[in-house]
Structure 1
Amino acid sequence: MKTQDRRNFIKDMGMLAAAAGITSLLPFDVMASGKKEFFKISLAEWSFHKALFAGKMTNLEFPLKAKNDFGINIVEYVSPFFNKKETDAAYLKELLTITKNEGIQNHLIMIDGEGDLGDLDEKARTKAVENHYKWVDAAKILGCLTIRVNAAGKGSEADVKTAVIDGLGRLTDYGKKNKINIIVENHGGYSSDGKWLSDVMKGVNSTYCGTLPDFGNFRINAERQYDMYQGVQDLVPFAKGISAKTFKFNDKGEEADIDYTRMFKIIYDSGFKGIVGIEWEGDSLSEEEGIRKTKVLLERVLAQYK
């Protein structure tokens, strides 16, 4: 039987068996065909940060650009590009209408500039927590399941960790009430230490709190660089998304400095199933070409797990 015919046969058999309630009698490969896909590809808005900051694109135009130009119907927003309209009901409704009409999934919003959740001053930390509430509310309106925040603060590793666990934990409580996940990216400072951030996750200890491992953000400071593969290994058990960062490509279409095959084996072996976001951040190609090359690379990786 040809491969495609066999796949169609397996699919049809699985559907018929499920309807008849006899799935336990099916061969293993028939049952396996119904398993959840390893990952789906989304597009992170930061990939267009040059165009957005230059006013060549707007937040409202981004989802359509993702779908029409790249065939990607899952999107990840970045807070500055809302231009302070995150509490504007009409604006959020317009964005939701655009995405609903086009069958685009609003996945998450990346939040920056709302204060340090690990501020050692309790009043400042509380203000930072409360500053994020409006983003939880916006995410809920848009149908996102998640917001990405930063685990930051100034002080010793131990003191900031304690403060972050408190601030992030309180924000997670608010997220839980609204059924919105609160996830942390390794994004500089202590958060780029995979062990430190995994300890924070264990401290918060909530199914509504997780991580967004980013392949390219493991520089703790000018003197300290955390191993990216160890970092993903540390963070992927808590991951509710993956940020597939790319900077440059070699002549084989591979990321020049990040071994994607190795990286995704770590992710696959962890049992992760979810959404992987394209985040192009290089200068050697245009934003459009960088996104296209990253998508081709991710599709090639995904094909290895079919």
Structure 2
Amino acid sequence: MNRKSFIIASAAAAAGSALSTQAAGRTPKKSGFKISLAQWSIRAFHRAKPGADNYLDPLDFAKYAKNICGIGGLEYVNSFYFGKEGDDAYFAELKKRADGEGVKSLLIMCDRCGQVGASQEEVRIETVEKHKPWLAAAAQLGCHSIRVNAQSAGSFEEQQKLAVDGLTKLAEAAKPYGLNVIVENHGGLSSNGEWLSGVMKMVDLPTVGTLPDFGNFTLNRKTGEQYDRYKGIQELMPFAKGVSAKSHAFDAEGNETKSDYFRIMKIVADSGYRGYVGVEWEGGKPGTTEGIMLTKALIERAIAAL
């Protein structure tokens, strides 16, 4: 067994032992946590040429998550299904495969659908319309939410007001589908925990929440300015309807090099959140499956340490 395999196996064994204790009722703080897989983690497989050894049809997302990774929750990414909007038969097949594997569809991450906080109202209305096909798809799959981006322009306060209006409109559109609208810290002011938590307070709707991401706290890509990730996660967790465990690289002990998962998972647990923690591998090395499994093992170790 090589070093990396040993790390993964050891971490998984430790997590399994901890979860057995949890099942016995001695660690209620840990109960309720499950692991999901963000489809973005396997983008390299979906982007490969059909027929290539590493190609994975997006329809087989559930099969990969369950059988290769041992993960039971799915977080879809809309860009892998562009051109399938409104195709009920396609999403029926996607649901059939998820059900067949015994996994749960949780949400669709929606990108390239316009600016939720655009300065012009007609653009905000258009953005809502662009999200509607994904609302329909998410409902058909049995998801609880769609994840959106809160892009805007202007001052701190102006962007808050615009984002509030756009999110309120989206929440109204999501109501017939019984879905939540959740916002990820995803660059710009959305990566400012004070800004996004303020937006949540101003919206003040039970169906609008956050998807705190462990690693997306870059305020300015040009300057590299960062928001304190631990402070940001603490500010966003009161509104969380999901959690995204972003990972880029690991050290020799199997720890993520930029995010202290043990510290973050304590913040998550202390907030009262119980639910899925999504693996989102965004690194280059090791490979896709190895990166996913290292992330999963680290989450399990962090939960076991609570």
- TM interval, shorter chain, is 0.7 to 0.9
Give the structure with higher Rg (CA). 1
Relative distance call for 1:261 and 1:75 in structure 2 (3 A) is same
Distance in 1 (alpha carbons) for counterparts of 2:214 and 2:121: 32
Distance in 2 (alpha carbons) for counterparts of 1:185 and 1:35: 25
Structure 1 residue 157 displacement after superposition: 2.1
Q: Is the 8 A contact 1:42 1:277 kept in 2?
A: yes
Aligned to 2:293: 292
Relative distance call for 1:247 and 1:33 in structure 2 (3 A) is closer
Distance in 2 (alpha carbons) for counterparts of 1:89 and 1:78: 17
Distance in 2 (alpha carbons) for counterparts of 1:212 and 1:260: 16
Distance in 2 (alpha carbons) for counterparts of 1:217 and 1:161: 19
Aligned to 2:35: 41
Gaps of 5+ in 2: 1-16, 50-54
Distance in 1 (alpha carbons) for counterparts of 2:88 and 2:178: 20
Q: Is the 8 A contact 1:192 1:226 kept in 2?
A: yes
Report the 3-state secondary structure (helix = DSSP H, G, I; strand = E; otherwise coil) of the residue aligned with 1:47.
Answer: helix
- Render the CA deviation track for 1:239-290: whole Å, top value 9, x for unaligned: 0010001111111111112111111111111111111000001112101100
- Render the CA deviation track for 1:157-210: whole Å, top value 9, x for unaligned: 222211110010111122233210110000011101110000110111111010
Report the 3-state secondary structure (helix = DSSP H, G, I; strand = E; otherwise coil) of the residue aligned with 1:60.
Answer: helix
TM-score, scaled to structure 1? 0.87
State, as a whole percentage, how many aligned pairs show the same letter: 46
103-112 vs 221-230, greater mean Cα deviation: 221-230
Aligned to 1:235: 236
Distance in 1 (alpha carbons) for counterparts of 2:292 and 2:250: 11
Structure 1 residue 36 displacement after superposition: 7.8
198-207 vs 168-177, greater mean Cα deviation: 168-177
Aligned to 1:21: none
Distance in 2 (alpha carbons) for counterparts of 1:262 and 1:36: 14
Distance in 2 (alpha carbons) for counterparts of 1:33 and 1:269: 14
Structure 1 residue 83 displacement after superposition: 2.7
Relative distance call for 1:218 and 1:256 in structure 2 (3 A) is same
Q: Is the 8 A contact 1:39 1:274 kept in 2?
A: yes
Distance in 2 (alpha carbons) for counterparts of 1:272 and 1:153: 28
Distance in 2 (alpha carbons) for counterparts of 1:35 and 1:296: 19
Q: Which amino acid aligns with 2:161?
A: T
Report the 3-state secondary structure (helix = DSSP H, G, I; strand = E; otherwise coil) of the residue aligned with 1:211.
Answer: strand
Distance in 1 (alpha carbons) for counterparts of 2:135 and 2:199: 20
Report the 3-state secondary structure (helix = DSSP H, G, I; strand = E; otherwise coil) of the residue aligned with 1:42.
Answer: strand
Q: Is the 8 A contact 1:186 1:218 kept in 2?
A: yes
Q: Which amino acid aligns with 1:87?
A: G
Aligned to 1:244: 245
- Render the CA deviation track for 1:38-62: whole Å, top value 9, x for unaligned: 4100000000112212241221011
66-75 vs 222-231, greater mean Cα deviation: 222-231
Distance in 2 (alpha carbons) for counterparts of 1:178 and 1:90: 18
Q: Which amino acid aligns with 2:98?
A: T
Task: Give the number of equivalent residue pairs.
Answer: 280
Q: Is the 8 A contact 1:86 1:92 kept in 2?
A: no
Distance in 1 (alpha carbons) for counterparts of 2:86 and 2:121: 26
Relative distance call for 1:52 and 1:144 in structure 2 (3 A) is same
Q: Is the 8 A contact 2:115 2:150 kept in 1?
A: yes
Distance in 1 (alpha carbons) for counterparts of 2:254 and 2:194: 31
Structure 1 residue 34 displacement after superposition: 7.5
Moved over 4 A (4+): 32-36
Q: Which amino acid aligns with 2:185?
A: N
Distance in 1 (alpha carbons) for counterparts of 2:85 and 2:35: 25
Aligned to 1:206: 205
Residue 131 (structure 2) pairs with residue 132 (structure 1): yes
Residue 155 (structure 2) pairs with residue 161 (structure 1): no
Residue 47 (structure 2) pairs with residue 53 (structure 1): yes
Q: Is the 8 A contact 1:58 1:81 kept in 2?
A: no
What CA RMSD, in Å, does the superposition of the two structures yield over aligned residues? 1.9
Q: Is the 8 A contact 1:171 1:182 kept in 2?
A: yes
